[in-house]
Structure 1
């Protein structure tokens, strides 16, 4: 979720890209991933983007990727990925599906690490501890893509800004597609909206009285509700059977109380990445 220096040029194009993605999903055939054999993919590269969702400050970050897929005949498919987490797709439900998920919320540091060092924009906010996430996803595989709804909740309660935060939780719903543009090029797209409970909104966009006293931000207590609409576009070039290059763009538009937070510098943002991948 990293970005391309200011986002002014994205305020209108993000809507055009969203419309174009939906149109492509209706007219182009989807490409199903070949997951019949076990595989391990490792890679890395560079990402550029906002310090956090809604920030107007941008920086460069390392981009790391690890994914191991283990299909089985009777127990479904097991996937371990970084940074996504663990996934178990249950068997025997096609074209519908259910997956159990274990993810990771890295929290947030008041001094954010970047390739240039540490950014102090949030200094005084304090640190939000990391936590494991648990949840599930339901999906429906269609000729033009995959519709999905997934929800994740923190495995433990946390404190932030001198107050008890509780367990954060959010729900994502959208459509994911993959189009083979040629024998070596594949275009992936995902469009989804995110709903957050009050705790998750407070963790991302809230400012407690203690934090307001220590920073230049005013106290702010958002309610739970819709948080953002996000579009991801990715292009993968299979350079050799085991080597590939992938690049992508992620744009988001904040909605609801997230737009009005004193932490929000840009209501629309974007990020980009470029990785080299090796598949065993």
Structure 2
């Protein structure tokens, strides 16, 4: 059960990070479910110096046939090998309007983000309406699809990967997440910590949607025109702490840091290169 509870790899802020609980042998016909509610402080969009605080739903369910739901993603474990996990994956990519990225949901164990380090001050050049994206095209919420594959180097360490396609208004954005996780470090009885780190690679269409500025957008917004290219998008690290109060109740807290790279970091929308996302929630196990 520890594997299911305490996995961390991409979390996500403005971009959806696929979340895949580990395979968990269960009696046929059974399921394991966590539901809860918490609060999250996150950047309004990737790279902004402005933050928002919002309610954070928590949902994680795993069935004995391999199906799972974790936060904003769902998929199915197809492998019977305990060392290798793979299968199809669906994930909801939140939309973005003038106020920033839409809301997300969490699992009790997720994929983690970026590099914790010095956080630069917001750039002074964005003095006019600094917390909004007025004039930028609205990006709709999208259902993306793809695959995941994980490999256990040891029972406590696993390499993770997921590839999702379909983001953006033209449904042609693709993102590859590669990471490593340390599962469920036992801090004594009720407390467990999991660690994660990784990088994300996006195609040009994905980066242009979320970090590019078209000529039309530049004419009606405070941003200059910018054509984003594909390649490395960010590096990320995450720490999740789960405190089990009882067999049914737990407090799950997550700190994720993301460092924009390449074309994303050079975007005029990127007011700062490094951002933190912090969340905490109470979850009940059914």
Residue 93 of structure 1 and its aligned partner are, at CA, apart by 2.8
Whether contact under 8 Å (1:146, 1:177) holds in the other structure is yes
Could you tell me how far apart the structure 2 residues matched to 1:220 and 1:114 are? Answer: 23
Name the structure 2 match of 1:251.
257
Partner residue of 1:168 out of 173, 179, 201 = 173
Residue 95 (structure 1) aligned with residue 88 (structure 2): no
Name the structure 2 match of 1:110.
98
Name the structure 2 match of 1:50.
43
Partner residue of 2:157 out of 140, 145, 150 = 145
Structure 2-normalised TM-score? Answer: 0.77
Residue 194 (structure 1) aligned with residue 194 (structure 2): no
Could you tell me how far apart the structure 2 residues matched to 1:54 and 1:40 are? Answer: 34
Could you tell me how far apart the structure 1 residues matched to 2:101 and 2:223 are? Answer: 21
The DSSP-based 3-state class of the residue aligned with 1:226 is strand
Could you tell me how far apart the structure 1 residues matched to 2:37 and 2:212 are? Answer: 33
Choose 1 or 2 for highest CA Rg.
1
Residue 33 of structure 1 and its aligned partner are, at CA, apart by 7.8
Whether contact under 8 Å (2:23, 2:77) holds in the other structure is no
Could you tell me how far apart the structure 1 residues matched to 2:227 and 2:92 are? Answer: 24
The DSSP-based 3-state class of the residue aligned with 1:262 is coil
Q: How does 1:1-280 map to 2 (within 5 A)?
A: 1=12, 36=26, 38-72=31-65, 77-83=66-72, 85-112=73-100, 121-143=132-154, 144-154=156-166, 158=169, 165=170, 167-178=172-183, 179-280=185-286
What is the aligned-residue RMSD (CA, Å)?
2.2
Could you tell me how far apart the structure 1 residues matched to 2:204 and 2:102 are? Answer: 29
Residue 141 of structure 1 and its aligned partner are, at CA, apart by 1.2
Deviating runs (4+, > 2 A) in structure 1? 32-37, 111-115
Select the structure that is richer in helix. 1
Whether contact under 8 Å (1:60, 1:114) holds in the other structure is no
Considering Cα pairs closer than 8 Å and 6+ residues apart, tell me whether 1 or 2 has the greater RCO: 2
Q: How many residues align?
A: 237
Residue 99 of structure 1 and its aligned partner are, at CA, apart by 1.9
Structure 1-normalised TM-score? Answer: 0.79
For structure 1, the 5+ residue unaligned runs are 4-31, 159-164
Whether contact under 8 Å (1:44, 1:276) holds in the other structure is yes
For structure 2, the 5+ residue unaligned runs are 1-11, 15-21, 104-129
Q: Deviations over 1:100-124 (max 9, x none)?
A: 1011112211234899xxx961011
Could you tell me how far apart the structure 2 residues matched to 1:145 and 1:53 are? Answer: 29
Residue 138 of structure 1 and its aligned partner are, at CA, apart by 1.2
